[in-house]
Structure 1
Amino acid sequence: MGFCSFFSHRLSVFSRVSMVFLIVFALLTVCVTADDKESGSFLTLNDVPAAEAFIDSVDVAVIGFFENETGRGYNEFLAAAKQMDKLPVALCSEKEVWAKYGIVSDTISIFRKADLHQEHLKLSEPKKIDTDGLTRFLTLNNIQFVTEYNQATAVGLFQSEVKTHVLLIAKSGSSDSDPLQQLFRDVAQKYAGKMLFVLVNGKEKPNARVLEYFGLKSRDLPRIGIYDGGSDKKWLMKKGEITNERLQNFCDSFLDGELQKQNPGGKTEL
């Protein structure tokens, strides 16, 4: 999925100011999304620039394309969106925006930056529409630049067309977790569409199998690993300080094929 840029050399000063305003407005709207949902109010997108600004302002954007409030699944969608309080959600009935994204009937659309993917659920197709089902749909497709691994997100991660996962296995909440997560996110954005970055909380019992799969103990954390779903193989980055440069070199070595050549079995540390 490509994202339109709002600035070009041909834009007038007025256009530049207008677009900056739209982006700032979208960002402010996202910041208050949770409060708006509590009050039953959702952002309404009335034109293409507003939709582009909204989509471009977040990792994952959800738009409910409904002609009106009587559409099939409308109330269920609002109820599901309120449950996903951290997920930016907007509504759109403007047909110009529909045409921009290839929408022809009432549809719930999810726009993701991490794997450059759009997911469209046409509401005329499912035999049954309920809040729980739509909540599950939103949960499974909530793939961020850094997605926290759990039972629900694992399904969405493995359904993505991007099959290579870079894992930060750490003790969430430890003194080094926040800086590491920020570093991890910074690097993740450079590999959009190529690799998915996944945070695994090593303190959670259900994640013990991930540590076991990589041959790690709790005392070994934090560590960085790569899992490739295409070959069903794994690689573990060599022990040492996790830096931006080392992480990028590790990712690049996989994308360049060097990691696979040096360690065809996918077991030896680098």
Structure 2
Amino acid sequence: MEASPSRCLFLLFLFTCWLFLEVAAEVQGSSDGDSQEPVRLTDVPAAMEFLAAAEVAVIGFFQDLEIPVVSLFRSMVQKFQDVSFGISTASEILAHYNITGNTISLFRLVDNERLNVESEDIESIDDDKLSRFIAINSLHWVTEYNHVTAIGIFNSIVQIHLLLIMNKASSQYEESIQKYQKAAQLFQGKILFVLVDSSVKEHGKVISYFKLKDSQLPALAMYRTVDEEWDTLPIEEVSVEQVQNFCDGFLAGKLLRENRDAKEKTPKVEL
């Protein structure tokens, strides 16, 4: 019994689709496999280039890749998609970064800080401890404030923090955060840029601390940890120039809220 031309075409179509799905699955699997592995660093220039390209990077410096912590380290890649992971056993790299034993180091551009999990701690580290170490210390150009990142933010060597307080569901959010990130790079090592989502109920305490009302949001709030000095600037939209001017003013000791308070205290004179 001969198959009809239409049936042959249908079978050919199914076979082509099957091949396409197989190839797509292989490509996806290969891509996923690559993304789930730390970058292998073989020399110092490669390591330096790797770090220069990442806001936050974690490198596993190991004497031997057969030790148990290596598999734990590899598993972190899937958990932290916004962190770059590298791994190295090259003696010249270990010497360049003063590594004398198995060490996991977190590097961040925002304040040029490097934090280490040293050899003695690595022997007892588990999934929860390593995950917490990375989560707490992963400070980006703009770090979103929450109960985990708050620890890393206040432990940063940068003592001045700028908060953008706005609703992430706002139609202006995407454009605003891009401009905010650009401004953050102008103050690397001087000011830590933070995002506070005003729609989160628990963040009401942050808003009230700066004496802001919902009607004044979005707003910028500056805070210095050493003396708890602060200032605020309600804004209609975020611009790089506006953020830069506000930061420059605070660094120069000019507080906008003092001018606002003075105007509010000035008695009105009837004509």
What range describes the TM-score normalised by the shorter chain of this pair? 0.7 to 0.9
Does structure 1 residue 242 correspond to structure 2 residue 238? yes
**CA displacement at 1:48 relative to structure 2:** 1.0
Does structure 1 residue 75 correspond to structure 2 residue 71? yes
Cα distance in 2 between the residues matched to 1:216 and 1:143: 25
Cα distance in 2 between the residues matched to 1:93 and 1:268: 62
Q: Percent identity?
A: 34
Match of 1:162 among 158, 162, 172: 158
Cα distance in 1 between the residues matched to 2:178 and 2:261: 27
Deviations, residues 210-266 of structure 1 (Å, cap 9, x unaligned): 111122233322111101111112210254543222211110112122339x849x9
Cα distance in 1 between the residues matched to 2:209 and 2:59: 38
- Paired positions, count: 233
**CA displacement at 1:124 relative to structure 2:** 1.9
The answer for unaligned runs of 5 or more in structure 2 is 1-30, 264-271
Residue 203 (structure 2) aligns with: 207
Higher CA-based Rg = 2
Task: State TM-score, norm by structure 1.
Answer: 0.79
RMSD value, Cα: 2.4
Of 180-189 and 214-223, the range deviating more from structure 2: 214-223
Does structure 1 residue 150 correspond to structure 2 residue 146? yes
Task: Tell me the SS of whatever aligns to 2:189.
Answer: coil
Deviations, residues 23-57 of structure 1 (Å, cap 9, x unaligned): xxxxxxxxxxx93476x532100111111111011
Task: Tell me the SS of whatever aligns to 1:61.
Answer: strand
Task: State TM-score, norm by structure 2.
Answer: 0.79
1:44, 1:90 within 8 Å by CA — same for their partners in 2? Answer: yes
Residue 99 (structure 1) aligns with: 95
Residue 32 (structure 2) aligns with: 35
Cα distance in 2 between the residues matched to 1:204 and 1:136: 22
2:180, 2:238 within 8 Å by CA — same for their partners in 1? Answer: no
Segments ≥4 residues shifted beyond 6 Å: 266-269
The answer for unaligned runs of 5 or more in structure 1 is 1-33
1:59, 1:144 within 8 Å by CA — same for their partners in 2? Answer: yes
